[in-house]
Structure 1
Amino acid sequence: MAVLPDFLRRSLGKSAERQADVPPVIEIGGRQIPVTIRRLAQSRRMVMRLAPDASEIRISMPRWGRTAEALAFARSRALWLEAQLARHVAPAPLGDGANLPFRGVLLRIDHVAAAPRRPAVMDGTLRLGGPSEGLDTRIRRWLHAEAKSLFADDLAFYCARAKVALPTLALTNARSRWGSCSGKGIIRLNWRLIMAPDAVRRSVVAHEVAHLLHFDHSPRFHACLAKLFEGDIEEANRWLKRHGRGLYAILG
């Protein structure tokens, strides 16, 4: 029986590892889309979704699941995936005259080179000055600051209502969730929520504060959230499901 030399065996092993790191790809609507597969101990079936930016197909499955089965599952739902891709709008740069959603209201961007660089909301417009180069960056920086300020106020309100200590706040641009609460009590909130209506943004903050008391989605958690949040949580969830993906088409 032939035996491979050690150096060749090591080389082949490294090559196999590199190939394993490359996600499989399937063709949907003429596009090659990577498929990211997660095997979870608690999974009992396959669940598939498209990433918010349409960059990949995500499949979670039981630990014993095979990659070939996951790919066959995705291909069997090619029409659904194609429809989801068609709904995705590629990010477009913002310029003078473009519309920007802010707290659920569309603001028209009014770029006047001689105006102050810092954006200011004025009569349904967002006025800012400076050169046109870097306009997106200045708007993004302003949105981040507004988001952090409002999130801090929301957190203070709901933590006082829940009678819990104020946690550490961090902004995130996560593609798969709007907020998260870590075991160390750090709450991360997606800055893009500043573009959603106030009630929607606040529903996410209330959700994460409820996790400070109940680190699960048990009936006790939902009862706590219902007491904390003053609005209609189901309506807020419907808004995010219907419009949330579109927020990723703004500023990339």
Structure 2
Amino acid sequence: MAGLPDFLRHPFGKSAEREANVPPVIEIGGQQIPITIRRLAQSRRMVMRLAPDGSEIRISMPRWGRTAEALAFARSRAVWLETQLARHVPPAPLGDGSTLPFRGALLRVDHVVSAPRRPAVIESTLRLGGPAEGLDTRIRRWLQAEAKALFAQDLAFYCARAKVAIPTLALTNARSRWGSCSGKGIIRLNWRLIMAPDAVRRSVVAHEVAHLLHFDHSPRFHACLGKLFEGDIEEANRWLKPHGRGLYAILG
């Protein structure tokens, strides 16, 4: 291709070549934070979020958006990102006397070696026995079992209201969303919602059931959700925004 003119050797322009070589990483507060970019057909502007565990920056943008523009946008919000990262608390192990949120209330972990290994809620405590090793694992499994049981009840309730068949339920620990509904009708729900208030958990379940009828976020979807959910959706969302990330600081 030595004899071709420059514009034919580089049909997409040199700026595109430079953009492809820009690593999707920026430095925030002395940390190298990767950036995940999603180009969406419905996007009209760039939206940036920090992953719940602080591991990456997520930017959604129009399909025609350039990676360089996303990086510049992230750099322009460096102060905000540094503040958000400072709020992130690494997961701490649970032990006797520590506290655990459960359905919107705090339980004090009461570890008694001679007690049954299976956790049990006794008033405002979570009592369990067995060795201290593996305590986190036993508590996590208990929370997941409790979450699955409550999710199943919630699904049955909202599916009856929506007059749809109860879909397959799966638990997830996704960092990007609290729930999802696949095109095959499988609903996945984040088990960490068992730590949130009941109304918050149920709002997410109702949201995903509404997607069984409207696979979008159109006015019809929101009208359907408003009829399905008995509480205040906006109030539930207001709880999740400041408190949701903190649920990942427990049993990471």
Percent of residue pairs identical: 90
Equivalence for 1:80: 80
Q: Offset of 1:242 from its aligned partner?
A: 1.6
Q: Work out whether residues 23 and 36 of structure 1, in 8 Å CA contact, stay in contact via their aligned partners in 2.
A: no
**Separation in structure 2 between the aligned mates of residue 118 and residue 21 of structure 1, nearest angstrom:** 53
SS for the counterpart of 1:213 is coil
User: What are the within-5 Å matches in structure 2 for residues 10-159 of structure 1?
Assistant: 24-159=24-159
The answer to whether 1:174 aligns with 2:158 is no
Question: Is structure 2 residue 205 aligned with structure 1 residue 205?
Answer: yes
- How far the C-alpha of 1:134 sits from its partner, in A, is 0.4
Query: SS of the counterpart of 1:49?
Result: strand
- 3-state DSSP of counterpart to 2:59: strand
Q: CA deviation at 1:21?
A: 11
Contact kept, 8 Å, 2:172 with 2:191, in 1: the verdict is yes
Q: Which residue of 1 aligns with 2:217?
A: 217
The equivalent residue for 1:7 is: none
SS state at 2:159 partner: helix
Deviation at 1:22, TM superposition (A): 10
Deviation beyond 4 Å, 4+ runs, structure 1: 20-23
Corresponding residue number in structure 1 for 2:165: 165
Does the 8 Å contact 1:26/1:75 carry over to 2? yes
Q: Distance in 2 between matches of 1:22 and 1:251?
A: 35
Residue segments in structure 1 that go unaligned for 5+ positions in a row: 3-19
**Which residue in the other structure is 2:9 paired with?**
none
In the alignment, the residues of structure 2 paired with residue 206 and residue 46 of structure 1 have an alpha-carbon distance, to the nearest angstrom, of 28
Quote the Cα distance in structure 1 between the aligned partners of 2:66 and 2:217: 29
SS, match of residue 55 in structure 1: coil
Query: Normalized against structure 1, the TM-score is what?
Result: 0.89
Q: Counterpart amino acid of 1:49?
A: R
Change (3 A) 1:21 1:94: farther
Supply the distance in 1 between the matched residues of 2:69 and 2:218 (Cα, whole angstroms): 32
Q: Which residue of 2 aligns with 1:9?
A: none
TM-superposed deviation, 1:24? 2.4
Aligned to 2:187: 187
